[in-house]
Each structure stands twice: as structure tokens, then as C-alpha cells.
Chain A
Amino acid sequence: MSGLIIFIIVILIAVILVQLGRVADLASKIRGEEKVASQQNDRTAFWLVVFMVVFLIFCVVSAIYYKDMMLGYGPNLAASEHGGKLDSLFNVTLFFTGIVFILTHILLFWYSYKYRYKKDRKAKFFAHSTNLELIWTIIPSIVMTFLVVKGLMVWNEVMPDVTPQDEVLEIEALGYQFAWDIRYPGNDGKLGTREFSKIQPGLNDWGMDWEDEKSQDDILLTGADMIVLPVDTLVRVRITSKDVLHNFYLPHFRVKMDAVPGLPTYFIFRPTTTTEDYRERLREYPDYQVPADPEDPEGPQRWETFEYELACAELCGKGHYSMKRILRIVSREEYNEWLAGQKATYFSSIRGTDIDPFKGQLLGSEIKNRKRELNAAFTNALKGDAEGDQIIRLDHVFFDSGSSTLKEMSKYELDNLAGLIKTNNISVELSGHTDSSGDDDANMKLSEARASTVLQYLLDKGVSSEMKAVGYGETKPVESNDTEEGRAANRRTELKIISK
């Protein structure tokens, strides 16, 4: 029904308009077409000038009114080193184009007014003038040359890749429908390799190659964790995409670059303003002195809640408008502190799981660590005099459950041990211990068998010192057998130095 009414109204308006037009035609016929045409011409010419004046005033006034939105003005200052250069280039261009805009508009509309039709006026036959045409070829050419040179100087300063001499923090931004994932290089400062075909949703969203040592210390920010970057540090963002095109866009930093699947791109910038400083700057503007949440007038003001934002600027599907991630720029100290709190993803959530390629094996770094630990324990034990001091717990010797067969992993520790016994030429007691669960006799036997296995292994490795293997069963617990942790600690193999 309402549709019908709207339809009828539209038709009526159309009829009225057509009739208005015809009435105007008829009226002019009655009043003499030529006279009316001439009057109308004058009126139109007048309104053209009015339009020009109002339009130009509107342009200038609105530009002043909205100047805080302009690049390099008000709160819209760049927060990166190169950003200021872009902003000044923008404003230089605005200056020249502004002059041209105003002058050409004045001429266009003023001539339309001044040379409006007059019955007795004769138009000039003015078909060309080489001089004039040369002038307005050459002047724009000069201005353009100036702008091109200035522009290219900035461009070629901003865009080239880093050189090996640059001290740079490289992070990676991975875009996908519809979010960004961020990766930090970890202690080695290098991003490890990854491969799209290795991606497993939920398990390995990045397709990390965990076999690459450079990958193992990489930090993959999860969920909505904010990106943290240190101020005054050169940052190279490696920009990649998992599925379609995205664009890594940091409006406050004048950073923008497409993320292309199969083709990593980059953008290099140096943040110069911390989030905190930017907030202080915004604090001075009335627009930012309002409650951040209009529902909560007592809550924090807009400047207090300001955050740098990462957005997507390349159409990537229905959620394109929502690919937000917060970026916080902090002092170097704060950054280091934050970084120390981040765990390498491999060790925090991959190691030992089914997707760990080194599951059941030791990593090179772990082998080194264990050797170091065992050496330290050994040195301590050799130095110490008290009874307890001379016992070394072999934390990395493991047996198959309920059997005395050594696990493959134990060999790293035992090999180290063999070497240490040989060099120090000491006699030792190797002891096996169990927890309290199960039959006492069986425990005793198992512990004996395990100690013997270790002894045999060391003999095979060519240890010729005096050694004996003893099984203590569950008789010498180090922790309570009431908890699982305690029982685990009680199941152990120990070495005791008998004589140096």
C-alpha cells in the first residue's frame, strides 16, 4: 500500500515538473522569446558568479574548518620519520594546485558572466595565440617538473629495501580473511622459514617450518594481542598474505603496502612517536576531550583511549572493513620488557606435540644445554664433600614403562656421562629408584635391572672405572608418593661418586 502511495506521489511530482517546464515555455512565448531568453541569460550569468563566489568561499572555509583532518595539521601529524616528508609534499602540492584551482575557477565563471550574450555584442574572432599557448605549456611543465623531482626524491628515500648495515627489527604481518597475524623474529633476530602448504588450521596457522632453527625462537602473536614496537627503531615489516590480496595500512605512520599471496612485500619505517606521546598531543584538541564511550560520560576521554590502528586497504571480501589490530609504540625499555615476557611459540605450544618434527628427539640447542647442565652438576659433585653433594640425579635418562629398556633419548645424557667419568677417572655407584606404586619386590627388581642397563651402557662406551649398579626400589623417595609429580620425581636414576 505505502509502495503504491509513493509511486503515485512520484508520478504526481513528475507531472508537476513537466507542467512547470511547459508553463515556463508558454510564459516566455507570451512575453517574447528573445527578450525572455536574454533576461534568463543575464540571470544565469549572475548566478554563475554567485555560485563561483560561494563555492570558492565554501572550499576555503571548509578547508580551514576541517584543517585538523589534513595531513600534517592538527592532530593528523605523521608518527613516523618518513611520514612528515609525505605530508609536506602533500602541502606543497596543495599550495600550487590551490592557486591554479582558484584562478581557473575565477576566470571560468567570470568570463561566463562578463561575456554573456548581449544582442549587440560581437564575439572576438580569437582562434589562437602561439605566445599564450607557449606560456601555459611551459609554466605547468616547470611546476610539474618541480613536483616530480621533489616527489621522486621522497619516494626513493622511503621505498628502497634495507641494506645489511642497517640495524633493523624485522617483523612479519600475515593477512588473511579477515585478520592480521603478526610474527616476531625472537632472539636470533631472524624470521624462520614457512611454507603455505604446511599450514594446518589451529595447529600451525602460519605454516611454520619448525625444522628451521630460525623458526624455533619466533614469536607468533596470538588472538588479539597488540603489536608492540619500540620507538626510534627502524622496522621492516615483511608483508604476506595467506589467501587473497590485503593491504597493510597504518594510517598514522603513512605506511601502506599490498599483501600478495606468493609474493612477500615489505615496508620500512621508523616510528617516532610513542602511543603515550601521541595521546598527549591529542589531549589538546577539543575533539578528543570528549568521553570515548558516549554511553559513559564519566569514563576515559578519547585521547586517553587512543591507539594506533592497523587496517586493511585492499578489498578482500565481505569482512574487509574489520581487519583491525592495535599497534602500540613504546620506549625501548618497555619494548625489551614486553619482549622478555613473550614466549617463543615453538617451545610454548609446539614442542613435544604431534606436529613437532623433533618429537622424541633433542634439538641441537637442548643437547648443548644438557651437556652444560650435567657438566655443572658433575663439577659441583666433585667439589662437594658432604654425602648428599656427591649424588647427581640423571634427569634425562628414561626407560620404557615397566621395563629396563633405555629410551633412545637417554643416550645423550649417558654419552655425556661416559665422557665425564672417563676424564675424571672416578668410581661410581649407579642406582635405580621407583615410586611406591605396585609390588615392592617387582619394584626392587626393576630398579636393579635399570641400574644394570645403565652400567652396561657405560661399559659398552668404554668406561673402565670401577662401577656398581644398585636397585633401591621404592625405599629412597625424594618426594611424597602421594602426588603424581612426587611419584615422577621418585622414579629416577642416580649416580653417586664413591671415590675421586
Chain B
Amino acid sequence: MGHFEATHELDVMIEENGYDDHFHDHHHGDKYQSNFIHHYIFSMDHKIIARQFLITGIFWALIGAAMSIVFRLQLGFPEESLAWLQPLLGKWIVVSEAGIGKLAPEFYYALVTMHGTIIVFFVLTAGLSGTFSNLLIPLQLGARDMASPFLNMLSYWFFFLSSVVMFYSLFLNTGPFAGGWTAYPPLSALPQASSGSGAGMTLWLVSLTFFVVSVLLGGINYVTTVLNLRTKGMSLWRMPLTIWAFFVTAILGILSFPVLVSGFFMLMCDRGLGTSFFLSEIFIEGQALDYIGGSPILYQHLFWFLGHPEVYIIILPAMGLTSEVLSVHARKPIFGYRAMVYSIMAIGFLSFIVWAHHMFMSGVNPFISNFFVVFTLIIAVPSAVKVFNWITTLYGGNIKLNTPMLFAIGFVSMFISGGLTGIFLGNSAIDIQMHDTYFVVAHFHIVMGVAAFFGMFAGVYHWYPKMFGRFMNETLGKLHFWGTMIGAYAIFWPMHYIGMAGVPRRYYSFDTFDSFAHFGDLNKFITIAAIIVFAIQVVFVINFFVSIWKGKKMTTRNPWGATTLEWTTPIDTGHGNWPGKLPIVHRWAYDYNKDERDFVTQITPLAEGETPGDH
């Protein structure tokens, strides 16, 4: 699909029109990249750091997904023996005298908790935003690197440290933390309440504190880079939507994660220093505790003040990637660019004033909920605008249905399906019944789990050539897409029905209650679908790693015929991204099929008499 054999042409254009920042005057020899350790491990190059985030994210995604398979086996096949997992899980498989191995309930809850924590923070925050913000912000803005490459490196290594601590906690004798990824006290504060709330919770808190440091270092860098290091001509309104999404995401992270950490510190004080921020009037294990006057609900406010923006921290980058991929492969400008930007900003702003919609049923004053209902449901409007704009982007296009495009289309489908159920849950009156049922599980998995993964996959397949100079295999990519698309709906669609029937989430077994006991067939079906989808993800992982060395080589700089700057760099993009001058930007990022030209790169000056595409 070579459109443009223009390796030299692009260089010539940049050399003629570009902006000389005397790059080579400062970087003689560029020693720090000269050996393996500095090049691939303690690298300060944003492209390497992006790949480090991505590969660490894949590692965690496999662990997080494998955990879900284990607890799905328990839920779908409670009668079957899990004794075969004993070599791996040891004492957490309790074998009865009849030889039937069951997951210990404590460990079931530990798995559920770790699955959530890992996927939300390590995969969909670090693995998604960390990867693509790092890769694309400098490349698409025409910057040599991040504003502070050193902080950028620290950002990854704090994530790594956080990962190591969390990974270590999986092997504790008392088990990892098991009180849900939201870690509500008093359950998370009292080791008497749950075995995972001892050392497991301590490590969980330490790990996530490191993680927040990582997010903040990254976020400060992203914001600074976007504000200060845009190349000449790259006004804010010429930035691709990916950058807008990463920019707003980073701001959300900077504003919300510190609040989470303050909550964590207070929790640590309650756990270790005898304060009563979140604890009051507790009698547990035959003992009345000394804590008086705290409020568990305060923690929930602090948590969800991050927790809600967090879901947008997850989904906005996926939206940005999807917008870009849809536009490139439909060979059309993204429809309503400015509306898209304003929607991102509106969603970002609103995400800060809706947090208590997670708490309608937690004992907050019902009057307060009125405000949160209103703001929550307002989010549906910018979200709807985005969906309609994506669909209109397809309208009248010339669509190449390759793997990245399929995942982008899949993203839109998932975002619609999961977003619409949010309208039920955001309405507090319906939430009375739906809160903490499988309906919620279905909703958030589709809208911020599967959809975010789809955005991420679209991004990985689309920018893989930029990262590794090779393509991922298209056949396996399509297999991956179809398996995931069909499989993900097969997993989560039935959960709506189970939720409507009233079955609560986070139940280890449904047998105790006659009301919840009769959905065994659906639970089996879900588990089987989950196993298949997991197997399909293994196909992706194989494709990913094999293609690094064996994939089809990239022979042209701009294989997709895209307009953005990252495709104007050499195939083997070195440190500093552009070998000579920096490109100068003359137009917005979406001049596809304008004036009889298939695409016009951002570095192409306006022809005489040409009106800009975003007039």
C-alpha cells in the first residue's frame, strides 16, 4: 500500500522549509545511547520509554487477564475441581476430602481485587497513556524529545518499582490485598477484617503511591511538552486529536492523583498510627476498637475524586487514538475537529464533578445526589457528539478495513454499548437497584475495559511500524479482532441480564441465595467465552513479539499515508527524531482527500490560493 516513495522528498522538504534548532551542535556523539544499558534499559529516549511502558503493560495485562480466567472458572464451573491449579496456587486451592479443589474465598477476592487494580492502573493507565503519550507527543508535535527526558525515565522506573512491589505482594503468605480495587476502609484498614488487609494492603498502598509518582512525573512532562515544545506552526488548533486527548488526560491525572494519594496517606495513618480519619465505632474480632469520629465515606469521596477522572484518564487516550486511526484509514478528515476538542475538554471538566455517582447508595445525603445525577448525565452529550462525529467520519470515506481500523470501529461500537448503559446507572433512582450488580460489571467492562483495550489495540497495530520498523501480521491481527469483538460481547452482554435479575457483583458463589442461584448456564457461557478471548489475546502477544523480529519490514516512511509528523521521520527513527532540522507545520492534521490529493502532510505549505482544511 505504498503511496508515497518519498523518503528523500520528505527530508528535502524539511531541510528546505524546516526550522534549525542547532540540534547537532548540542548532541555531538550522543554518548548516553551508545551502550545497551543506556539505549534499551535506562533510556531517556521517549520512543524507548514508550516501548518499555507498552511491554510492561502487556506483561501485566496477561497476568490480570489470567487472574480473571481463574476466578471465572470458579464462577462458571463451581462443581468442577480446580485441584490442577494447586501446583501454581498452592494453599489457595482448598481440596476437599472428595478431592474437589476449590478456590479459597479469600483468594477469590484477592484475584478480583488484583485483576481490577492491575488492569485499571498498570495496563490501561500506564500501558495505554504511558505508551502512546510518550511515543506520540514528541513525534506528532515535532519535538526532539520530552521536556524532561530524565523525569520521563524516572516516570517509567517508578512504574517499574510499583510493579515490582505489587508483583511481590502476590506471593505473600497472607495473600495480596483482597478488599476490592477501590480499597474501601474499614475493610482495607483493618487486618482483622480480611487476611489481605495486612501486609498485602501495605504493599498495595506502597505500590500505588509509587505509581502515582510515575503518573505525575509523566503527566507534568506531557503537559510541559505540549505547551512548550510544539514545533513552529503547530498551534494548539493544529494538534492531532491524539495529542489533545493525551494533553487533557495528563491534566486530569495531575489534578486527581494527588487527591488519591492524600487519601492513601490518611489510610496509612489509620492503619499504622492510630488516627481515625476513616474509622469509627468498630467492633471486630471480639473487640471494640478505639477509633471514634472518622467517616468511611470520606475515603470514598477522596478515592472517587480520582476514581472517576481515572476512567477518563483511561478512555480519553483511547478516544484520541481511535479518532486518528479512523480518519487515516477512512482517508477523510475527522468530522467536527473542534467539536471533538471541545468534547474532550467538556468530558475532562465534567469528570471532576461527577465522582459521587459511585456513591449514591453509600449513605451520602440523598439531596447531594441530585447534583451528581445532573452532571453525570450531561456527560452523555459530549460523548454522543463524539460518537456521531466518528460515525460521520466514516460517511463518504474510502475505508481501508485493516486491523487498526477494525479495532477503531470496534472501539466505537463498544463505547456506544457501554456508554448507553451508563445512562441507566447515572440516574440515581435506577442505580438503587443496579448499584453493585452485574449490570455495573457489564457497563464498565465494556465502556472502559474493552473499549479502552480496543483503542489501545488500534494504536498498537497502527503505530507498530513506527515503534519497531515492521508490521504486525495482518491475518493474525484480523483473527485477534474478530475473536475479541465477538468474544468480548459474549462475555459481557449476558452480564446485563444477570444484573437486571439482581445478582450482586463480587460473589464467590451464587448458591447461598435462591434468587441468584439459577443462572449457572449463563455463567458457564461467560466463562467459556472468557477463556476463548484470553486465548485470542495470546495470539496478539505472539504476533506482537514475533513481529518485532520477523514482521514484514516497513519500506516506506509513511505506510498509511498519514498527514501527521511522526511519519516524516526516518524509518529507523534515531534519538532526536529528525536527523536535521525540525519540520515546520503549515496546516492541521486532517487534510485527507483535499483538492484531489490523497493526503497532504502537515509540513506541506499551503498552495497559493488554498483555503486551510479547518477553515
**Residues of A near any B CB (own CB < 8 A):** 3, 14, 17-18, 20-22, 24-25, 33-34, 37, 40-41, 44-45, 47-48, 51, 55, 58-59, 62, 66, 69-71, 76, 83, 85-86, 89-90, 93-94, 96-97, 100-101, 104-105, 107-109, 111-112, 115-118, 121-129, 132-133, 136-137, 140-141, 144, 147-148, 151-152, 154-156, 158-160, 176-177, 196-197, 199, 201, 207, 242-245, 247, 249, 251-252, 254-258, 260-263, 265, 287, 302, 305-307, 309, 311-322, 324
Contacts and interface: CB of A to CB of B under 8 A. Distances in A.
Given A85-B429, A89-B429, A199 B193 contact: no
Given A124-B397, A127-B334, 18 more contacts: A41-B400, A44-B401, A90-B433, A101-B416, A101-B420, A104-B391, A111-B397, A124-B395, A125-B595, A127-B336, A127-B614, A129-B336, A243-B282, A244-B186, A244-B190, A263-B295, A315-B109, A317-B193
Contact of A115 (B395, B413, B494, B506): B395
A199 B327 CA distance: 65
Contacts of B518: 287
A141 B473 CA distance: 43
The A interface is mostly helix, strand or loop, or mixed, namely helix
B546 interface: yes
B273 interface: no
Nearest to A41: B401
B515 A244 contact: no
A464 B214 CA distance: 94
Contact of A69 (B194, B366, B498, B546): B498
Interface in B257-275: none
A476 B185 CA distance: 69
Contacts of A22: 473, 550
B388 interface: yes
Contact of B433 (A86, A243, A247): A86
Interface in B314-350: 330-339
B170 interface: no
Interface residues of B, number: 132
A319 B509 CA distance: 10
Contacts of A144: 377-378, 380-381, 423
A68 B85 CA distance: 37
Given A21-B473, A93-B424, A112 B399 contact: yes
A14 B542 contact: yes
Contacts of A59: 493
B333 A125 contact: yes
B473 to A, nearest CB: 4
A121 B594 CA distance: 14
Contacts of B613: 125, 127
B417 interface: yes
B432 A158 contact: yes
Contact of B381 (A45, A51, A125, A141): A141
A128 B543 contact: no
Contact of A128 (B106, B338, B497, B513): B338
Given A14-B542, A71-B433, A90-B424, A123 B397 contact: yes
Nearest to B409: A112
Interface in B394-453: 394-402, 406, 409, 412-413, 416-417, 420-421, 423-424, 427-430, 432-433, 435-437
B179 interface: yes
B373 interface: yes
Interface string B555-585: 0000000000000000000000000000000
A108 B293 CA distance: 54
Contact of A257 (B295, B361, B390, B437): B361
Interface in B490-511: 493-494, 497-498, 500-502, 504, 506-510
Interface of B: 1, 87, 104-106, 109, 178-180, 184-187, 190, 193-195, 279-284, 286, 288, 292-297, 330-339, 361-363, 366, 369-370, 373-374, 377-378, 380-381, 384-385, 387-392, 394-402, 406, 409, 412-413, 416-417, 420-421, 423-424, 427-430, 432-433, 435-437, 473-476, 478-479, 482, 485-486, 489, 493-494, 497-498, 500-502, 504, 506-510, 512-516, 518, 538-539, 542-543, 546, 550, 552, 590, 592-595, 613-614
Contact of B178 (A34, A44, A263, A318): A318
A51 B413 CA distance: 12
Given A124-B396, A140-B381, A148-B374, A313 B413 contact: no
B498 to A, nearest CB: 7
Contacts of B482: 47
Nearest to B595: A125
> Which of A123, A257, A316 is most buried by chain B, counting CB atoms within 10 A of its CB?
A123
Contact of A318 (B105, B339, B388, B494): B105
B282 A260 contact: no
Contacts of A309: 513-515
Contacts of B473: 18, 21-22, 24-25
A151 B373 contact: yes
B53 to A, nearest CB: 25
A21 B476 contact: yes
A69 B105 contact: no
Given A66-B497, A245-B296, A307-B514, A156 B398 contact: no
A17 B542 contact: yes
A104 B416 contact: yes
Contacts of B385: 133, 136-137, 140
A104 B501 CA distance: 27
Contacts of B430: 86, 89-90, 93, 151
A108 B539 CA distance: 27
Nearest to B499: A69
Contacts of B397: 111, 115, 123-124
Contacts of A159: 366, 369
A141 B539 CA distance: 42
